Amino acid sequence: MNLNKYQEMCLRTTPNGDQERAQIYRLLSTPTDVDYFDGLKEIHSLLGLMDEVGELANAINNEDLPNIKEEIGDAFWYTALGATANGVTLLSLAGQIKDVVLVNDPNVALMDLMGFVASYASASKKTIFYRKSTSCTEALTGIVLCLLWLCDYYGFTVDEVLSDNQYKLQQRYPENFTEEDAIERKDKEDGE
């Protein structure tokens, strides 16, 4: 298969230029069940989860316990953001988990986590871009379950993970979020 021809076909089937601007304008100006700011929170949540799951995979591969704990905390943060965008709480998501069977391999939990993040992305895409109201609750519940599995496997309590994450974010953003603080990352030593 010629990759250049394939890419050209992709461009023909994707809005671009004026079409893309019109689609974005329509998304921003058309009344919908999705609140614009909740949609931005959802997109932020998804991008953050994808980033953190990648970092978590690296930490698990390197058996870096402090970093595993930090990445689980970061993934919980982005899951909480997604829950907020969907009008639910982390506690209500955790309450939907039934018959927890713990895993004895972190890679199994990681693969399931990736699957649930993909399901979350699919449901969000349908809601935000195709205006088809789709619940993200099942996918978010699965993400919480996988994070709980990982906490259990590594011997972390959820309170400990969340407290450490909250402390890190308070160090990074002493007042409120600023882009400068996000770039500077005061909580990291030597610009890690």
At 190 the pLDDT is 47
Q: CA torsion, points 171, 177, 183, 187, in degrees to nearest 10?
A: 10
Does some domain include residue 187? no
Instruction: Judge contact between 40 and 27, C-beta under 8 A.
Output: no
d(C-alpha 122, C-alpha 73), whole Å: 23
- Residue 96 in domain: yes
Query: 48 in a domain, yes or no?
Result: yes
Res. 40 pLDDT band, cuts 50 70 90: confident
Q: In whole angstroms, give the CA distance from residue 134 to residue 80.
A: 18
Task: Report how many domains make up the chain.
Answer: 1
Distance, in Å, from the CA atom of 46 to the CA atom of 140, rounded to the nearest integer, reads 11
Tens of pLDDT, residues 162-189: 999 988 888 888 877 666 766 776 666 5
Which run of H or E residues covers position 28?
Answer: helix 18-29
For 56-106, the pLDDT digits (tens) are: 999 999 999 999 999 999 999 999 999 998 889 988 998 888 876 777 899
pTM over 0.85, yes/no: no
pLDDT for the residue 85: 87
Mean pLDDT calculated for residue range 36-65: 90
Residue 130's φ and ψ, nearest 5 degrees, are -105, 0
Query: Between residues 107 and 99, which one has the greater pLDDT?
Result: 107
Task: Identify whether 13 is part of a domain.
Answer: no
Establish if 56 belongs to a structural domain: yes
Highest mean pLDDT among 2-11, 18-27, 152-161, 164-173 belongs to: 152-161
Higher-confidence position of 144 and 25: 144
Please state, as a whole number, how many other Cβ atoms lie within 10 Å of the Cβ of residue 154: 14
Tens digits of residue pLDDT in 120-159: 999 988 877 777 777 889 999 999 999 999 999 999 999 9
Q: Tell me which residue of 57, 21, 39 sits closest to 123, measured CA to CA.
A: 39
Query: Which of the pair, 190 or 46, is modelled with greater confidence?
Result: 46
Q: Which helix (H) or strand (E) holds 131?
A: none
Structure confidence at residue 73 (pLDDT)? 95
Burial of residue 116 (CB within 10 Å: 0-12, 13-18, 19+) is buried
Domain that holds residue 44: 32-182
